[in-house]
A and B are shown apart, each in its own frame.
Chain A
Amino acid sequence: MSSPNGCYSHTPNLRVRPVEEMKSCVVFRPKPPKMFMLNLNAWLIFQLCDGNSPDHVAQRYRKSVANQMSEREADRHLEIGIKNLQDQGLIKLKQQIDQRRTE
């Protein structure tokens, strides 16, 4: 059986500048060049997507926002955030094929 596996990582060579007073983060993507403003929630998701598996990202995100929203709502926010970050080329999911033989 083969099952998709992987981890999220930041796109190489991004420049990340937190803007604490605005509770936001500015990210420069060099290829193709563009700057983005991440709101606090997107910034949190972006930080979690630095070398963690999708399951691990989800667990840590739910934990981070547990006192603010339900698990279902957290999953919805996470889905939106990851899609936005992927669409803009700021994170990517590195796929790994885990080959397991069943006997």
Chain B
Amino acid sequence: MSNVDPAQLVANLVAGERLTTPTVKSIEPEVRSGGQFPFCDLLAHDDDQENERLIDGNVLLGAIVIEWGYDVPFDKHDDFKKWLICNEKEIAAEQPRDVTYRGTYAVSISTEKHSGLYRTIWAFRTLHALQVFDAEMHRPNSAFAKLIDNLNAFRDHDRGADSSQQIYQPVRCARRFA
């Protein structure tokens, strides 16, 4: 918790902001259940290298696939598009070992109402690759981290903006607990 005086804090914020009609909205807590499938390291259980062949052959995207869902403000769409056209190949070139950028997509149709109109897909060859991704994002002067920060800067960060995240793994290696 900050020790800043709330009255002073709000006064400072008001000075630099265009005020809109005062609103007091109730927050409805949303309890989400945990994962049903524990993470599995696909290649660690690959006695005959079939899983590896499926990943290498792009039949499977990876041991873990992460999908970011988000919105981009309407008036930023064209800039975002241009940025991707210029930088997607750079992301692919800079991506760390065992992490694969699988593209950014516009959602043409979805049954989910609040998951965002854009998706960025990441594939991880191993569970360790999740740590590799994290380490790269924290490495000083990482070109990859800079690109990902720039990509995420296009997201709509307003409260209420649609967003989502999904983590997938191949069913062929998944144990179901519930």
Within 8 Å CB of A38, what residues of B?
22-24
A25 to B10, CA, bound (A): 9
9 closest residue pairs by CB, A with B: A81-B22, A42-B22, A41-B22, A35-B27, A84-B24, A41-B19, A47-B7, A39-B23, A37-B25
Within 8 Å CB of A42, what residues of B?
22-24
Cβ of B20 and Cβ of A20 under 8 Å apart?
Answer: no
Main SS class of interface, A: mixed
Cβ of A20 and Cβ of B9 under 8 Å apart?
Answer: yes
Within 8 Å CB of B7, what residues of A?
47, 50
**Which of the four size classes fits the interface of chain B?**
20 to 34
Within 8 Å CB of A69, what residues of B?
19
Within 8 Å CB of B24, what residues of A?
36-38, 42, 81, 84-85, 87-88, 90
Within 8 Å CB of A39, what residues of B?
20, 22-23, 25
**From B8, which residue of chain A is reached at the shortest CB distance?**
A47
**Which of the four size classes fits the interface of chain A?**
35 or more
B10 CB, nearest partner CB in chain A, Å:
5
B75 at the interface (CB under 8 A from A): no
**From B9, which residue of chain A is reached at the shortest CB distance?**
A18
A58 at the interface (CB under 8 A from B): no
B residues at A contact (CB < 8 Å): 1-2, 4, 6-7, 9-11, 13-14, 17-27, 29, 159
Interface 0/1 of A32-46, CB less than 8 Å to B: 001111111111110
Within 8 Å CB of B18, what residues of A?
68
Give the contacting residue for A24; candidates B2, B21, B26, B159; CB below 8 A: B159
Cβ of A47 and Cβ of B159 under 8 Å apart?
Answer: no
A92 CB, nearest partner CB in chain B, Å:
14
**From A50, which residue of chain B is reached at the shortest CB distance?**
B7
**From A77, which residue of chain B is reached at the shortest CB distance?**
B22
